[in-house]
Amino acid sequence: MPGKMSSASATRFRPGPLHGALRVAPDKSISHRALLIGALTRGRLSLTNLNTGADLQATRNAVTALGARIDGDGPDLTLHAPERLAAPGDVDCLNSGTTMRLLMGILAGAALPARLSGDDSLSRRPMERVAAPLREAGAAIDTVEGHAPVTLRAHAGLHAVSQRLRVPSAQVKSALLLAALVAGTTAQISGDERSRDHTERMLRYLGARITWDGERIELAPSPLQARDIEVPGDPSAAAFAIVGALVTPGSEVRVERLCLNPTRDGLLRALRAMGANLTIQGEREVCGEPVGDVIARASALHGVDLDPALLPTMIDEVPALAVAAAFARGTTHIRNAAELRVKESDRIETVAAMLEAAGIAVTRHPDGLDVTGTAHLHERIEVASHGDHRIAMAAAALAAASPAGVYVDDAQCARVSYPRFHEAWAELQR
């Protein structure tokens, strides 16, 4: 599509180094869980530094529809959990897969009827991966040929959850855990491949009897205590500033209070293997999650055969990693990433198209990409975001190290997960 985009409607990200300290958007996954799991405590919780993007607006609406009361409308609020969950009626989950899938688990566990819908992108994403295991546990759920709208019906109650995951997805695992928790049954889940463990950590922090080892999870019926939750920075949001700094000569960025959960740090590991100059300082634990500061300095990177075991711990960071690979010496091979095909866009396709628009050699595979770095990018680069926030933000990192910047259509979609992305990026390039 080069040449077809009207510069007037596109956002231009400019070239130039990134400098300074920043706090990126609060972690989206943990924010969803703070609201949804907080609503299951029957008490009152202060939630601080919640993500306020559109995805979280969907979860706030859902939690209110479940009978919770929320005081405050910014990143800091008080959540009053309901005595009993209410049937929420129709819930619009907007663009948010996490909202829809975790809510399916809660509603299945509570045997409450509801109808969950979403925007066009969410309506194309697979929902049977959650509906089928919940149905096996006794829930009454219908999808429309595997997709939203999802209808939950009242049913006689769940039996104990004992399942092997067919898709190693944190959302599927979390839906099953929350279903069991709400139903007051046990859950034994195996087949996890180190997908993000925020649900497990938050349940443990709130007093649930839960154990997990990266492969198998066991939850015993547990009442939850209402305890305050502070959300750390989102590694998926930090990925773009970190990569932008690494690939743009003269850059140095410090990302503060970042979530360093080992099920989310695959990008940092991959970048280190590529020769990145990354320093971690001030590691500590906050509300059950490891947190610290990451300093990224411009580095000469080289291509790698990415360890396939890292992929589940960096699945949302592949667009950023691909930008790092575009400036690395040699070729980076990314595999075990077929899940990218069912994200907010088909990210194997949209990442490949973004890099090709810049003149970078890419080979597509069913489950990944090969990216060969180059020092010679096109002068005029136009990227289609396809409404996918992570593609828009990856284009900003690409632009930083480009000769003349990058034009991106609908770059405002970054606000879905990172409401202040454009302002934060402008501050780093000032």
Interface with ligand S3P (CB under 6 A): 29, 32, 98, 169-171, 174, 195-196, 315-316, 339
Cβ-contact 417, 56 below 8 angstroms: no
Who's near 6: CB < 8 A, 6+ residues apart? none
Of 430, 376, 373, which Cα lies nearest the Cα of 403?
376
| Catalytic status, residue 316 | yes
Question: In this structure, what are the phi and psi dihedrals at residue 25, rounded to the nearest 5 degrees?
Answer: -55, 145
From the candidates 192, 197, 265, 316, which is the catalytic residue? 316
Q: Which is nearer to ligand S3P, 339 or 388 (CB)?
A: 339
Cβ-contact 288, 205 below 8 angstroms: yes
Q: Which is nearer to ligand S3P, 32 or 257 (CB)?
A: 32
Output the smallest distance, CB 32 to ligand S3P, in A.
Answer: 6
Q: Which is nearer to ligand S3P, 10 or 242 (CB)?
A: 242
Distance between CA 276 and CA 350 in Å, rounded? Answer: 25
Element (H, E) at 140: strand 140-144
Cβ-contact 15, 399 below 8 angstroms: yes
Angle at 261 between CA 260 and CA 267, to 5 degrees: 65
Amino acid letter for position 294: V
Whose structure tokens read 């302002």?
423
Whose structure tokens read 């959540």?
79
Cβ-contact 319, 344 below 8 angstroms: no
Cβ-contact 40, 225 below 8 angstroms: no
Q: Which is nearer to ligand S3P, 196 or 257 (CB)?
A: 196
Q: Which is nearer to ligand S3P, 116 or 298 (CB)?
A: 116
Angle at 149 between CA 137 and CA 26, to 5 degrees: 85
Distance between CA 230 and CA 286 in Å, rounded? Answer: 7
Output the smallest distance, CB 51 to ligand S3P, in A.
Answer: 11
Output the smallest distance, CB 344 to ligand S3P, in A.
Answer: 8
Who's near 60: CB < 8 A, 6+ residues apart? 35, 70
Q: Which is nearer to ligand S3P, 112 or 311 (CB)?
A: 311
| Position with the least CB separation from ligand S3P | 29
Residues assigned a catalytic role? 316
